[in-house]
Amino acid sequence: MPRLTGRIFLKLITAVLAVLITCLVAVDFMAARIAEGTYVDTLKAELSQKCNILALDEASMLADNKHLIAVARAAVGRISIVRRDGLVLADTEQSPGKMDNHSNRPEIVQALKGGVGFDKRLSTSVGINYLYVAVPSPSGALRLAVPLKEVQTQVNVIRGHLLTATGIAFIPAILLTAFFARWVSRKLGQIIDYAAQLAQGNFQARLNVTGSDELGILGKKLNETGEKLEAMFEQLEREHSELEKLERVRKDFIINVSHELRTPLASIQGYTETLLDGAIEDPVHNIKFLNIISANAARLGSLIADLLTLSRIELGITKFQFASYYVMGLLQGCQESLIPIAAKKQIDLVIEGVPLEADGSYLEVFCDAEAVHQVLSNLLDNAIKYTPQGGRINLQSRVFDHPEHKIPFVEISVRDTGAGIPQEDLPRLFERFYRVDKARSRELGGTGLGLAIVKHMAKAHGGEVGVESAVGSGSRFWFTLPTRDIGLEEIQTLQPELTASASS
Ligand SMILES: Nc1ncnc2c1ncn2[C@@H]1O[C@H](COP(=O)(O)OP(=O)(O)OP(=O)(O)O)[C@@H](O)[C@H]1O
Ligand SMILES: [Mg+2]
């Protein structure tokens, strides 16, 4: 990353230096022109003044060549005196006889007309670039010329001064630029580094951004992008593991179903073949075998019926008929239908207390009576199955305020004096096919689907299920129901929730 920061710094500083150098060249160009213009103008004024003074001394200069040369040296220039017809009468650099007629020289033309004449050109007589200034004189025109080389030397001195001054003025600008370029390159370096981390999938990384300038805003936006990517990634991971879990549940379910179906089917097949092989003629065994076949067929039937019930609830096919029912009526209905079975084991099946409203009226729940009957039957069937002879089963109910729905709910529970369930089995008890003691449960005709049906049915009513149990102290299974409609038709359509709980 330092190499990257260095490259950005170099680019920025080069760009700024290029701009500064361009400015310097432009300043030099303009300054050279202005300095030359100003210097030439001043020189012209100075030379024309000198010319006017020299013109007064023209006669002596014409008469004495030495005097002429002395004056020219004092005036620091070349003096020429031209007659009105253009004939050069005197010149300090060339013999007048060798010189052309000067009547067409621009500065002479002007001077002969009575004005001050100027020109810049290469002298044909001496081959030097001159600045010429001519004024009218008694003989015609007096001309003073200085070499342009002199002018250029002076202009270069001025340019030199100007360039030095501008260069010095640029030093703080360059220092400031270097400081700014360092700051920008560092920030850009950090941002590029962060973008690279995002590209590599490190969405937890964050940029340490400060300031509300453009780079600060860019940093904040990148951080927001990082946060969103992290959230999306986590969501995808969650969904992925959820899918994997569902896939495991599906595979387990298929294995469980196949296994559960295979056992009674194998039994039916075995005893049928035995009967066909001749046992049908054996009056001692044939009835016994047929009873076993019948029991296994019944077991297959109830297994398939339970599986269908579960699937229907999960797929939302089950059409519940919701209405208000007295809790007491529901409890009594179930008690009556299971008392004969409980009686076979001398188990007392009693309803404890009468569930009443606060005003004394009978308590009502909003539910499908048949579904609640099935839930209660499953719980009571278990209680009877797993409670030894002479035990007791209590049906209880209580009302409480639901913290989420903000209406009263009723909790119905089945308490038994059975063997109880070990703590480690409690969390998985409502899973499909989960049985504490597989062999014993199968012996009692159980498939392990009863509690899963209880849970799904309670959920379809907007309720919950639970169990409290300890080995040797019996068990208490409970489920809850709303006292009023809480939009159960909609809860019914919440298939994802029900399907998600398919594993339990
Ligand atoms: N009241 C209870 N006392 C002790 N164990 C219980 C009780 N109720 C349920 N269990 C345990 O929970 C397991 C699951 O019960 P669940 O009702 O789902 O299946 P099942 O009774 O074996 O078969 P079925 O599908 O015929 O109901 C049972 O096998 C049993 O081990
Ligand atoms: Mg059961």
Q: How many domains does the chain have?
A: 3
Give residue 198's pLDDT: 87
Does residue 500 carry a pLDDT above 50?
no
At 61-111, the pLDDT tens digits run 999 999 999 999 988 899 999 999 999 999 998 899 899 999 999 999 999
For residue 178, being part of any structural domain is answered with no
What is the 194 CA–ligand 2 centroid distance (Å)? 58
Three-class secondary structure assignment of 374-442: HHHHHHHHHHHHCCCCCCEEEEEEEEEECCCCCCEEEEEEEEECCCCCCHHHHHHCCCCCCCCCHHHHH
In short, whether 437's Cβ falls inside 6 Å of ligand 1 is yes
How far, in Å, are 62, 298, 299 from residue 384 at the CA level?
155, 20, 18
Q: Are 89 and 81 in contact (CB under 8 A)?
A: yes
The residue whose two tokens read 């310097």 is 24
CA 370 from centre of chain: 51
Give residue 497's pLDDT: 45
How far, in Å, are 17, 20, 31, 39, 168 from residue 25 at the CA level?
12, 9, 10, 21, 15
Q: What is the DSSP letter of 353?
A: S
Contacts of 450 (CB under 8 A, 6+ apart): 306, 378, 381, 382
Q: Are 151 and 157 in contact (CB under 8 A)?
A: no
Give residue 396's pLDDT: 94
Report the residue among 307, 382, 435, 444 best suited for mutation to probe ligand 1: largest number of ligand atoms under 8 A from its CB. 382
Atom from ligand 1 closest to the CA of residue 306? 25
Confidence of residue 170 (pLDDT cuts 50, 70, 90): confident
| Whether residue 494 sits in one domain with residue 353 | yes
In short, whether 448's Cβ falls inside 6 Å of ligand 1 is yes
**The domain boundary residue, chosen from 265, 281, 315:** 315
| Whether residue 227 sits in one domain with residue 280 | yes
- What is the longest distance spanned by two Cα atoms in the chain? 178
One-letter amino acid at 251 equals: K
One-letter amino acid at 453 equals: I
Give residue 32's pLDDT: 79
Report the residue among 263, 433, 451, 475 best suited for mutation to probe ligand 1: largest number of ligand atoms under 8 A from its CB. 451
At 213-242, the pLDDT tens digits run 888 888 888 899 999 999 999 999 999 999
The mean of the pLDDT values for the chain is 88
353: left (phi over 0), alpha (psi -120 to 50) or beta: left
* Atom 10, ligand 1: residue with shortest CA distance: 382
Confidence of residue 166 (pLDDT cuts 50, 70, 90): confident
Give φ, ψ of 255 to 5 degrees: -60, -45
For residue 201, being part of any structural domain is answered with no
| Whether residue 232 sits in one domain with residue 324 | no
Give residue 313's pLDDT: 85
Region 267-275: mean pLDDT is 94
**Ligand lying nearest the CA atom of residue 386:** 1
| Whether residue 442 sits in one domain with residue 412 | yes
Confidence of residue 503 (pLDDT cuts 50, 70, 90): very low
Give residue 293's pLDDT: 94
- Domain with 301 in it: what CATH number? 1.10.287.130
| Whether residue 474 sits in one domain with residue 336 | yes
| Whether residue 413 sits in one domain with residue 279 | no
Give residue 159's pLDDT: 81
In short, whether 418's Cβ falls inside 6 Å of ligand 1 is yes
The residue whose two tokens read 């909003």 is 366
In short, whether 414's Cβ falls inside 6 Å of ligand 1 is no
| Whether residue 477 sits in one domain with residue 345 | yes
For residue 251, being part of any structural domain is answered with yes
Judge if pTM exceeds 0.75. no
For residue 490, being part of any structural domain is answered with yes
Q: Are 54 and 61 in contact (CB under 8 A)?
A: yes
**Ligand lying nearest the CA atom of residue 452:** 1
Give residue 106's pLDDT: 94
Q: Is residue 335 packed enough to be buried (19+ CB in 10 Å), middle (13-18) or exposed (0-12)?
A: middle
Give residue 275's pLDDT: 92
Confidence of residue 384 (pLDDT cuts 50, 70, 90): very high
Lowest mean pLDDT among 80-89, 157-166, 395-404: 157-166
Confidence of residue 14 (pLDDT cuts 50, 70, 90): confident
* Atom 3, ligand 1: residue with shortest CA distance: 386
What is the 292 CA–ligand 2 centroid distance (Å)? 21
In short, whether 457's Cβ falls inside 6 Å of ligand 1 is no
For residue 63, being part of any structural domain is answered with yes
Confidence of residue 8 (pLDDT cuts 50, 70, 90): confident
Tally Cβ neighbours within 10 Å of residue 320. 19
| Whether residue 435 sits in one domain with residue 330 | yes
For residue 177, being part of any structural domain is answered with no
Region 366-376: mean pLDDT is 95
For residue 173, being part of any structural domain is answered with no
* Atom 26, ligand 1: residue with shortest CA distance: 446
For residue 180, being part of any structural domain is answered with no
| Whether residue 342 sits in one domain with residue 242 | no
Region 130-154: mean pLDDT is 90
Q: What is the DSSP letter of 94?
A: S
Q: Is residue 443 packed enough to be buried (19+ CB in 10 Å), middle (13-18) or exposed (0-12)?
A: exposed
- Domain with 490 in it: what CATH number? 3.30.565.10
In short, whether 135's Cβ falls inside 6 Å of ligand 1 is no
* Atom 12, ligand 1: residue with shortest CA distance: 435
Give residue 116's pLDDT: 93
Confidence of residue 490 (pLDDT cuts 50, 70, 90): low
Contacts of 44 (CB under 8 A, 6+ apart): 118, 131, 133
Q: Is residue 373 packed enough to be buried (19+ CB in 10 Å), middle (13-18) or exposed (0-12)?
A: middle
**Ligand lying nearest the CA atom of residue 429:** 1
In short, whether 391's Cβ falls inside 6 Å of ligand 1 is no
**Whole domain around residue 222: which residue ranges?**
209-315
In what order do the strands lie in the sheet containing 408-416? 348-351, 392-401, 408-416, 475-482, 465-469
**The domain boundary residue, chosen from 263, 297, 315:** 315
- Look at strands 140-147 and 129-136 and give their pairing: antiparallel
Region 152-166: mean pLDDT is 83
Give residue 498's pLDDT: 44
At 414-460, the pLDDT tens digits run 999 998 999 999 999 999 888 888 777 777 777 889 999 999 999 99
> What's the half-sphere exposure (Cβ side, CA atoms, 13 Å) at 452?
27
The Cα angle at residue 289 between residues 283 and 293, in degrees rounded to 5: 145
**Ligand lying nearest the CA atom of residue 447:** 1
| Whether residue 301 sits in one domain with residue 363 | no
| Highest mean predicted confidence (pLDDT) among 41-50, 333-342, 488-497 | 333-342
Report the residue among 441, 443, 465, 477 best suited for mutation to probe ligand 1: largest number of ligand atoms under 8 A from its CB. 441
Atom from ligand 1 closest to the CA of residue 435? 29
| Whether residue 391 sits in one domain with residue 345 | yes
The per-residue DSSP string of 264-302 comes to HHHHHHHHHHHHHTTGGG-TTTHHHHHHHHHHHHHHHHH
Report the residue among 435, 475, 476 best suited for mutation to probe ligand 1: largest number of ligand atoms under 8 A from its CB. 435
**Ligand lying nearest the CA atom of residue 449:** 1
What is the 454 CA–ligand 2 centroid distance (Å)? 9
- Distance, in Å, from the CA atom of 173 to the CA atom of 418, rounded to the nearest integer, reads 93
| Whether residue 486 sits in one domain with residue 452 | yes
Region 397-413: mean pLDDT is 91
**The domain boundary residue, chosen from 285, 315, 345:** 315
Confidence of residue 471 (pLDDT cuts 50, 70, 90): very high
List CB-based neighbours of ion ligand 2 within 5 Å.
Answer: 382, 450
